[in-house]
Structure 1
Amino acid sequence: MVQKPSGKEEEYFAREAYEKQRRIHEERHKALAEEEKKRLRELHFMRCPKCGMELVEIDYRTIKVDKCTECAGVWLDAGELEEVSTLEKAGFERLLSVFRK
């Protein structure tokens, strides 16, 4: 005679089955998210977030500033704003003069 599992055993097995399915779904979602992230990076790399045109990278001391070839927007990567803020006033004015027409 086969013994029927108790309520606690049923709960345990149901929880285990749920966790297994959740992990499978999470791994599948993570793989899709990585693929989408890669596709978007390739699509938007060095493109202006405002107008979508090409960005040109300009080196100024240790700062790499990205400037749009169309709308003249200026973009900084992570940490570069902090570097700009450490420039002396004369250095900051020289940096700005690079972008004035």
Structure 2
Amino acid sequence: MPKQPFSNEQTYFALQEVERTHLASQENQSLKLEEERAREKALHFMKCPKCGQPLEETPIGAVRVDQCRACAGIWLEKGELEAIQKEEGGFVAKLFDVFHK
């Protein structure tokens, strides 16, 4: 017996199922990406980029920078160098000028 073509109703529901499956797949991928980002952040938060040891906040004037007690590295977040430069001036201002050339 020859196959009968899909009716309009069958085609409609098949397309709806394909779209639903596609949207569910996209949502699943988004959730997995968010979970991966959260996991990566938890693994690396307040860890030294150089040696992986924990970072501690250390005050430099009114600014608190992240410092590694193992390798003595100092890590600055966005805007911290400018804040230190405004507060301290002198050597830090010259250092800041070197990085902005």
* TM value normalised by structure 1: 0.61
Distance of 1:85 and 1:18 partners within structure 2: 58
* TM value normalised by structure 2: 0.61
Alpha-carbon displacement from aligned partner over 1:11-57 (angstroms, at most 9, x marks no partner): xx75x665544432221112111211222222222110111011111
Unaligned runs of 5+ in 2: 1-5, 94-101
Q: 3-state DSSP class of the match of 2:65?
A: strand
In the other structure, the counterpart of 1:57 is 57
Counterpart check, 1:77 vs 2:84:
no
AA matched with 2:31: A
Percent of aligned pairs sharing the same letter: 36
- Give the ranges of 4+ consecutive aligned residues of structure 1 lying more than 4 Å apart after TM superposition: 16-19
AA matched with 1:66: D
> Cα gap change, 1:85/1:43 in structure 2, threshold over 3 Å: closer, same or farther?
same
> Cα gap change, 1:84/1:34 in structure 2, threshold over 3 Å: closer, same or farther?
same
Residue pairs, 1:1-101, within 5 angstroms: 4-5=7-8, 14=15, 19-90=19-90, 92=92
Unaligned runs of 5+ in 1: 94-101
AA matched with 1:36: E
Number of residue pairs aligned between Structure 1 and Structure 2? 88
> Cα gap change, 1:21/1:75 in structure 2, threshold over 3 Å: closer, same or farther?
same
Distance of 2:92 and 2:50 partners within structure 1: 24
Distance of 1:79 and 1:26 partners within structure 2: 36
